[in-house]
Structure formats: structure tokens, C-alpha cells
Amino acid sequence: MSYLEYQVRYVPAGLRKLLYLNWPIIVLLTAVACAGFLMLTSVAGGDISRWAEPQMKRYAVGIVLMIGVAMVPIWFWRNMAGVAYAASLFLLVLVEFFGTEGKGAVRWIDLGFMQLQPSELMKIALVMALAAYYDWLPMGRTSRPLWLVPPLLLIFIPTALVIRQPDLGTSILLLAGGGTIMFLAGVHWAYFATVIGAAVGAVVAVFKSRGTPWQLLQDYQYRRIDTFLDPENDPLGAGYHITQAKIALGSGGVTGKGFMQGTQSRLNFLPEKHTDFIFNTLAEEFGFVGGLTLLILYGLIIFFCVASALQNQSRFAALMTLGVAMTFFLYFAVNMSMVMGLAPVVGVPLPLVSYGGSAMLVLLLAFGLVQSAHVHRPR
């Protein structure tokens, strides 16, 4: 199989490809990353070398990798989808046996020079594998029940492995990301309606049965769910962090307290202020204006991805681009919901802003695929 399935009039070659990159996305990504550098400098008390500098280096490496990936024709990447998926799955299984532990979860493989988090790789590999599957599958079979089994297995196997680590945030991202591709590929509405309906029904059943003789879970399990859903009931334990995070965000007001003037983060009331809760520092120091600007930057990235996908006749390219966009969206939407107290804290970083290598590199590689699809689109 090759790209020649489509009618291609012109494909840029060599360095000319650089001109055909989706430059608005690169600019927007860089703008978001710069906001990240600024905030990492702030939470380190003005010390650039502590977090901002390593983050910049990683971003530079990531951008180079992204452009490198973009230079390679998209059909190559489509053909690599299976390999990428198999490799990621292998690494996930490896984590089960050889992973290193951190913060009560086993997520990392120590490669010596860096800590690799295979679940991050899996996010992008799953998107590729599903896009490739539906690219291969004739449209007519998309909604046949039998042909739903392979994609579901592709989704559930890594999700199960990740949830064992335990890493609830990543498993939600995998489920939602995978489901999105299936939805985009044209799987019938009714399936989604059924699944969502069943899920809602199950949740309702679990909660309604509470206190009745036929209750579905043990009491302690209910109590755990309570704390998880509403940590503010436990103000000195889990609730303390989310309360302080909300205070930081809310006290920023419209224009914020100013760069490095955020008392909540500077005085350590804010937890995980350089990773999961970095948005609260931004919102505290730059206020509603700063927070909304970041949200709009994210929105524009999604917009340019969607626009690129809709222009792209290639089924793999379109599905993959939208899948990456959705994964990216899930990252920041889940993170922001959780730091604003709209969702339970599940440990999802703010993409390109939170300190951390794996997530940033993986996301930039994913945007490399988006760029490759954009450069090599059938015209």
C-alpha cells in the first residue's frame, strides 16, 4: 500500500517541505511552551536553571524531533503504526516487571539516561494504530459488531495495564482518545449511545443502591469514592491541596498579582506547583487575562489541527490528526478541570507547560505526525 491510493498532484520534496509545515501550529506550540518557561521560572523563585532551563532544552530537542518526523512521509508512519503499538505494549508489560516506583505508582522504566514512561508513548501509538486500522477497514464494515472487536482490544489491553500501575489519568486519556477515533471513523451512533447510557446506568445503580440491602460496593469503597469525588470534605487531607489550589487561582483576580508575586505558590501553599498545578500559579500571577489567553492558545492549536484534518483527504491522516488533537485537548481540559475543582485530581499534566520530559516529547512527536500528514497531504 502506498500513498498513491489517493490522487496526488504535488508533493513537496527535500527542504522545500519546511515551507509546507503547518507553521501556525509551531508558533502556537512555542507560545504555550514559553508560557511554561515563564511559569517554571516563577515557581522556582526566579531561578531559571532549576526547571525552566531543562524544560527549554527538552523543548528544543522536541521541536527538532517534530520537524524530523514531519520530513518523513506520512505513509511511512502509517505503516509503522503496528510496530509502534506493539513496541509500546511491550514496554508497558515490561513496566509491570521492571518498572521503578515513584509516588506510589510504577510507571517508569529507568533507561539510565532518562526515565521513560511507556504509557505516554502508548497514547500516541494507540491513536496511530486505530487510525491505521480504520484506514485499512473498508467503510462499509466500520459498524459491523465483529469489526469492533479489534479496536476495542487495542484500547482495552493498554488501558488495563495502565490502570494497574495505577494511573487513572492516563487510562482515562487512552479510553477517551481511542473512543474518539472510533467515533470519527464512523462507528454507528447507537453504539456510543448504548455505551454511554450503560455507563451512566451503572454509576446510578452503584450510588442508588448505597444503603440498601443489595448495595453493590462495600462501605469503605463508597467512602473512598466520596473522598475522590469531593476532596473538600477532607480539608486537611486530600482536600487541602485542592482548596489551596482554588485559593491561588481565585485570588489572582482579573489581572493577577504579577510575575513572581503569587503568594500561594511562593509560600508553598500550592502543591505540585511546577507540575500538575502550574496553571494555578499562572492564573494567580497573571489572573483571568493570563488564564484565558492560555486557554485561547490551546483552542487555536486544536482549531488548526481540525482545519488541517478536514482539508486532508487521507483517511489515516485525518483520523490521526483529529486523534492527536483530541489527546491534546483531553490533556489540558482534564488538567484545568481538576485544578479548578471541576473534576477529581487524577494526575494529568498541563501539556507543554508542566515540568516533565516524557509528556512533552511524546506530544511533540505526535505533532510531528500531524505536520507530516499536513506536508504530505494529497493535493
Partner 1 sequence: MKRPQKDIARSSRVVTRRGLVLGGVQLGLMGVLGWRMQSMQVDQADQFRLLAEENRVNLRLIPPERGLVFDRNGVKLAINEQNYRIVIIREDAGDVDDVLARLARLIPIDPEAIENAKEEMARRSPFAPVPIIERVPWEDIARVNVNTPALPGIVAEVGLSRLYPRGADMAHVVGYVGPVSDYDMSRGYLAEDDDPLLREIPRFQVGKTGVEARMEHTLRGSAGTMRIEVNAAGRVMRELSRIDGTAGQDVQLTIDSGLQAYVQARLEGESASAVVIDLEDGDVAAIASAPTFDPNLFVRGISVADWTGLNENKYRPLASKTVQDAYPPGSTFKMVTALAALEAGVIDTEETVYCPGFVEVADVRFHCWRRGGHGNINLHESLKQSCDVYYYDVGQRVGIDKIAEMARKLGLGERHDLPLSAISEGIAPDKAWKRSTRGEDWRIGDTVNASIGQGYVLASPLQLAVMTARIATGRKIAPRLVRSIDGVPQDSGAGESLGLNENNLRRIRESMFAVSNHNRGTAYRTRIQEETMRMASKTGTSQVRRITAEERARGITSNDDLPWDRRDHALFVCFAPHDNPRYAVSVVVEHGGGGSTAAAPIARDIMLQALYGGTPPLEAYPSNVRSSIREQQDRIEQQAAERANETSDRA
φ/ψ of 343, rounded to 5, equals -140, 155
Query: Which span sits near partner 1 by CB under 8 A: 118-126, 244-252, 354-362, 365-373?
Result: 244-252
Cα separation, 354 vs 169, in Å, equals: 15
Residue 322 touches partner 1, criterion: CB under 8 A: yes
Site string for partner 1, 120-149 (x = CB under 8 A): ------------------xx----------
Cα separation, 306 vs 321, in Å, equals: 7
147 by DSSP, 3-state: which? helix
Q: Which of 74, 319, 352, 364 contacts partner 1 by CB under 8 A?
A: 319
C-alpha cell at 317: 491522516
Query: Which span sits near partner 1 by CB under 8 A: 4-12, 37-45, 105-113, 118-126?
Result: 4-12
Q: Which of residues 273-312 bind partner 1 (CB under 8 A)?
A: 283, 287-288, 291-292, 295, 298-299, 302-303, 306, 309-310
Residue 250 touches partner 1, criterion: CB under 8 A: yes
Cα separation, 233 vs 231, in Å, equals: 5
**Which one, of 279, 374, 365, lies nearest residue 59 by Cα?**
365
Cα separation, 203 vs 43, in Å, equals: 39
Query: Which span sits near partner 1 by CB under 8 A: 31-39, 50-58, 154-162, 250-258?
Result: 250-258
φ/ψ of 111, rounded to 5, equals -90, 5
H or E segment to which residue 113 belongs: none
Helix 315-339 / helix 278-311 crossing angle, nearest 10 deg: 160
Helix 315-339 / helix 74-98 crossing angle, nearest 10 deg: 40
Nearer CB in complex with partner 1: 94/310:
310
Q: Output the CA torsion sign for 350, 351, 353, 357.
A: positive
| Shortest Å distance, C-beta 94 to partner 1 | 33
Query: Which span sits near partner 1 by CB under 8 A: 89-97, 212-220, 251-259, 351-359?
Result: 251-259
Contacts with partner 1 by CB under 8 A: the residue count is: 54
| Residue ranges in contact with partner 1 by CB under 8 A | 1, 4-7, 138-139, 180, 183-186, 244, 246-254, 263-264, 266-270, 283, 287-288, 291-292, 295, 298-299, 302-303, 306, 309-310, 313, 315, 318-319, 322, 326, 329, 333, 336-337, 340, 342
